[in-house]
Amino acid sequence: MKEKSYLIFRLHDLLYGIETSLVKEIFQLPEISPIPEAPPDIIGILNLRGTILPIMHLDRRLGQPIQECTPSDSVIVIEWHMIQVGIVINEVLDVQTIPNTFIETEPDYGREKHINTAFISGIATVADKTIILLNSEALIRHPNEVAMLAWGTEVEPEAEIDSETLQPEKILRNFYELYSPQATTKDKRIFRQRAEGLRKSLEDLSATVTLPLTVFSLGEEYFAFDLEIVKELIDIPHITPIPCCPDYIVGNINLRGQIVTLVDLRPILQLETGNRDNHKQAIVVEIDDIKAGIVVDEIFDVLYLDQEQFSSTPIAVASSIKPYLKGTAPYKSTMLTRIDLVRIMAEDRLLVNQNI
């Protein structure tokens, strides 16, 4: 069964998907610099670590009226044929692997009449949810002048973009008037701090500039997996118990015809196990030839964090589980812990055996 992995996100009340292989980076919307004579869907540019990044608003690209930008919006950076463009959307939701059989490539677009169908490759129905899959090639293709912005212009990483940077173009400094007229003083400070952070050069960041992560909770604590091992995020269907297994093996599920074993990390991380009947969500991961579902209480975010935001694991953590943790970082009003799932799965006693 052929299938592809998609990053799922929200724009207003609709769900969209774009192939994860094209996604290079995700960050929250910063202050951007509008420019004249750009295509109407390009609302400005951003100094992203020394390179000019055109910023597209998906509303305009799809032919819809643009709504006000807010600090809760995000930017997805995608790349096609060496052109990188940032796309403004409302919220990144999750990553899903969608089989081709779930996708209508010639659907009745009448139900989405307000969307420019030139940018739609199909519509998927997954768990009673409709996901509009975007045609990446059509979405990112731009007139030559926009491609030139992406290809041919570099600035000093720490420099602000000004009217001298892109001669003979003159930058219009009215992001708030054009796109965020209701922004408060606090909102403007947040937008500007984000822009300043994104201007940092690679040399100013640690070896790994950003870490793509999937954030979830176990009990009252937040944890994260590296996104590269995550295949999809699912609601757990019927679980088939497996007798005579270690306490971290929950059982098997049938995931579109494939048997996947569910693993509970709580015993491994010395967390309270709780009621297994309450397991509702899982993160499907693949490490080498092992595919498993990690049960979680709730899935929160797909995001990117700077490596420098992580500090070492607290001394108070038990020495027996420290090898499985990669450090902690601020998240919302608390902290999250990055789990080294590759190391956990490599332990002989923790291997997932589908034939147990």
Give the integer Cα–Cα distance in Å for 339 and 322.
10
Asked whether 302 and 94 are in contact (CB, 8 A), the reply is yes
- Output the CA torsion sign for 226, 229, 232, 236: negative
Asked, colleague to colleague, whether 3-204 and 210-350 share their fold, the answer is yes
Whose structure tokens read 């003159």? 170
Cα radius of gyration rounded to whole Å, the chain: 22
Phi, psi of 112 (to 5 degrees): -125, 50
For residue 86, give the nearest of 171, 138, 28, 131 by alpha carbon: 28
- pLDDT mean across residues, the chain: 79
pLDDT digits (tens, 9 = 90+) for 330-354: 887 788 999 999 888 887 545 545 4
Give 89's pLDDT tier (boundaries 50, 70, 90): very high
| pLDDT for 248 | 87
Flag whether pLDDT at 261 surpasses 60: yes
Flag whether pLDDT at 292 surpasses 80: yes
pLDDT digits (tens, 9 = 90+) for 151-173: 444 445 555 555 444 443 444 55
263-298 per-residue burial string, b: 16 or more CB within 10 A, e: under 16: bbbbebbebeeeeeeebebbbbbebeebbbbbbbbe
Flag whether pLDDT at 282 surpasses 70: yes
For residue 356, give the nearest of 196, 247, 223, 206 by alpha carbon: 247
pLDDT digits (tens, 9 = 90+) for 31-68: 999 887 778 888 999 998 888 899 999 988 888 888 89
CATH architecture under which domain 210-350 falls:
Beta Barrel (2.40)
Flag whether pLDDT at 205 surpasses 50: no
Domains of the chain by residue range: 3-204, 210-350
pLDDT digits (tens, 9 = 90+) for 208-222: 457 888 899 998 899
Asked whether 96 and 6 are in contact (CB, 8 A), the reply is yes
Q: What is the DSSP letter of 154?
A: B
Q: What is the DSSP string of 226-275?
A: EGGGEEEEEE----B--SS--TTEEEEEEETTEEEEEE--TTTTT-----
Q: What is the DSSP string of 158-198?
A: TPPP-TTTTTT------HHHHH-TT--HHHHHHHHHHHHHH
What is the residue type of 344? Answer: I
CATH architecture under which domain 3-204 falls:
Beta Barrel (2.40)
